[in-house]
Chains A and B, each alone.
Chain A
Amino acid sequence: MEFEFFSPAFVLLIAAVLICLVKGHARTAVILVAPIITLWAIWQIPDGVQSTVKFLSYNIEPVEGSPLRRLFATIFAIMVFVGGLYSFRIARWYELAAAFAYAAGAIGVCFAGDLITLFLYWEMMAIFSTIVVWCGGTPGAKAAGIRYAIMHLLGGVVLKVGIEGVVVGTGSIQIQPILATDFSTWMILIGILINAAAPPVSAWLADAYPESTPTGSVFLSAFTTKTAVLTLILLFPGEPVLIGIGLFMVMYGIIFALLENDVRRILAYSVVNQVGFMVVAVGIGTEMALNGAAAHAFAHIIYKALLFMSAGVVIYRTGKNKCMELGGLFRTMPLTCACGIIGALAISSFPLTSGFTTKSMISQAAIDSNLVWVYMLLTAASAGVFLHAGIKFPWFVFFQKDSGLRPKDAPWNMGLAMIIFASLCILLGVFPEVLYALLPYPVDYQPYSIGKVLFYLQLLLFSGLAFFVLLPLMKRTMTISLDTDWFWRRAAVLLFKVIERVFASIGKVVSHQRTRLQKFLHRVAVRYLGQPHTADSEERGVFARSWPVGTTALWIAALLSAYVLLYYL
């Protein structure tokens, strides 16, 4: 089979349609088999542009292969398979269909050879991920879904403006490394960064993802931000502004996760934190850094989905999602607890987990480029990740106090999905060569040296100590934290209210003056025309009275004489 015109995305799109049409075991088969066919299709695509189609005056390249594109598509396909396994028994069919179409968009972006194809798949992701958010089914999910859709459609418009600008400016729709130097390239960069949950709009992520179903958030955590990272690697490697943006995201994620009470919102903030690491790496832009960004994205999808799965099982079994209401679940949920801890260790880049072998590449890239401050901040952030996700998540959910809840452990399919991803976290930590072989550039990097392991153990274990020493300062409260979404959820509403009031008062003045004018005209009319409907001619105004015919004839005679007189003068 040739994939010259048809991106592997079509396999998942067809699967999404089939999920709507078939039922029962057939649907389960579609859910589990389609990702495997997709994975096979991904590895059939050789390097380079596969075909060119003339559309209007543009050369559209629907499928382009490269090691980097295949790497991202591979992890997306694995994610769809394990996510499908996790959710097929409890998720509704329309949520699964939307999730598959959403993943198809992500894989389409991976292989898009030109900006127009990229944009089409980009919008497809926006639409179907919104549906996944809406599947949460609550009024909160509905509202959050609308905000999410507005944000992403806005991001799409910004991206489109940038693409149009580049097409007009250079005449090329090729995807090639550029720098943000003029208006249109900045627009492209901003459009991509909106999807990467970069400031100042990071809030969309923590606003929308926790509102979806326990299964929906597993899919949501994987695709949107990571396709943004891939696109950044393809278009903006070495763009210096990304270093600053990434560092901000890293710190923002930690601080807000520390303030948070909602379990999945903690994880959502740590998505922003982890994507921040990748954005920094793209900003550094060396081969080591780009390898690090790609490897970290690969590992991140696995452990972040694992954490969302673990949280999802807890929410599915208990119906509760606040740290304050949970605790002590390790007694009856040993598997979920163990998998959650493995995911937490991996995100904290503990030695022997996938986080260590991938994130340390980014730190190494910062060292190689002699960026002292970047390296120090990334190291501090690694400690912070252990604090906010590595310990905080398992501690508050599975240990802490005894909440009295005794839920059953995960159903077999959810448990199996978690075991697969937990094993991958450890596999990639122990045998990183498997992943290194797939990276876009040749890897000359030894993740493990005894000195480095000791340094990271000191760093992480003492962050752990800090957690337990500072525990009194981290008492959970039944609160939410204001974020930049305040500006569009409150300030914008207030602004509209003010504008509405200004217009209302202007309207009041105008209508008052109009009333006065009407009354005045009415009075004038009464004066000269008289009250209407009166029979008595004397009561009418001067122009409305009846006059004798003789008077009229006299006046006409006077007028005619005046006319004749004037004519001869």
Chain B
Amino acid sequence: MNDEKQLHWLVRPSTVRKLWIGSIIVLALVVLAQTVIYVKGYFGFDAWFGFGAVFGFASCLVMVLVAKLLGLVLKRPMDYYNEPQDEPQDEQLSDTDVNHDKIKESSNGV
């Protein structure tokens, strides 16, 4: 109890529970209100009872799942673009350059 008193009133478990109950009541009311209030449908199906609620929830569900699946493919660690890019090679190239110079030197005297 003492522990609960120390928390900000908004994040106390009892408040959070009340908020959940309150929100569920509001959600239910918003759907039930359609029995009294006429929602004008433009294409027929969008005037169905509770269409907005179902459509809103379902489209969010789909978007979150799509994002989740894409995340499996697309997510990378924060420093993905900062990794130092490996730079091997170049040694052999300079090798042949040296040989080439030697030959030049030796053929200089002709």
Q: Identify the A interface with B (CB < 8 A).
A: 251, 254-256, 258-259, 328, 330-331, 367, 372, 375, 379-380, 383-384, 387-388, 402, 449-452, 454-467, 470, 473-474, 477-483, 489-490, 493, 501, 504, 507-508, 511-512, 514-515, 518-519, 522, 525, 529, 532-533
Residue of A477, A508, A518 touching B92 (CB-CB under 8 A): A508
Closest Cβ of chain B to A470, distance in Å, is 5
B5 at the interface (CB under 8 A from A): no
Closest Cβ of chain B to A446, distance in Å, is 12
Known: A331-B8, A477-B75. A454 touches B30 (CB 8 A): yes
Residue of B70, B75, B85, B97 touching A480 (CB-CB under 8 A): B75
Q: Are the C-beta atoms of B89 and A504 separated by less than 8 Å? A: yes
B21 at the interface (CB under 8 A from A): no
Chain B contacts for A380, CB-based, 8 A: 55, 59, 63
Closest Cβ of chain B to A525, distance in Å, is 7
Closest Cβ of chain B to A269, distance in Å, is 11
Closest Cβ of chain A to B88, distance in Å, is 10
Q: Are the C-beta atoms of B93 and A514 separated by less than 8 Å? A: no
Q: Are the C-beta atoms of B74 and A458 separated by less than 8 Å? A: no
Closest Cβ of chain A to B13, distance in Å, is 13
Known: A463-B60, A466-B56. A452 touches B103 (CB 8 A): no
B84 at the interface (CB under 8 A from A): no
Pair count A-B, CB < 8 A:
163
B96 at the interface (CB under 8 A from A): yes
Chain B contacts for A372, CB-based, 8 A: 43
B22 at the interface (CB under 8 A from A): no
Chain B contacts for A501, CB-based, 8 A: 89
Q: Are the C-beta atoms of B59 and A383 separated by less than 8 Å? A: yes
Q: Are the C-beta atoms of A259 and B70 separated by less than 8 Å? A: yes
- CA A455 to CA B106, docked complex, whole Å: 91
Q: Are the C-beta atoms of B75 and A479 separated by less than 8 Å? A: yes
Interface string of B28-50 (1 = CB under 8 A from A): 00110110011110110010001
Closest Cβ of chain A to B92, distance in Å, is 7
Closest Cβ of chain A to B97, distance in Å, is 8
- CA A263 to CA B102, docked complex, whole Å: 61
- CA A533 to CA B76, docked complex, whole Å: 68
The chain B residue with its CB closest to the CB of A485 is B81
Other A-B pairs, 6, CB within 8 Å; known A383-B59, A449-B40, A481-B70: A384-B60, A457-B52, A458-B51, A474-B64, A508-B96, A515-B100
- CA A450 to CA B38, docked complex, whole Å: 8
- CA A458 to CA B32, docked complex, whole Å: 10
- CA A251 to CA B60, docked complex, whole Å: 11
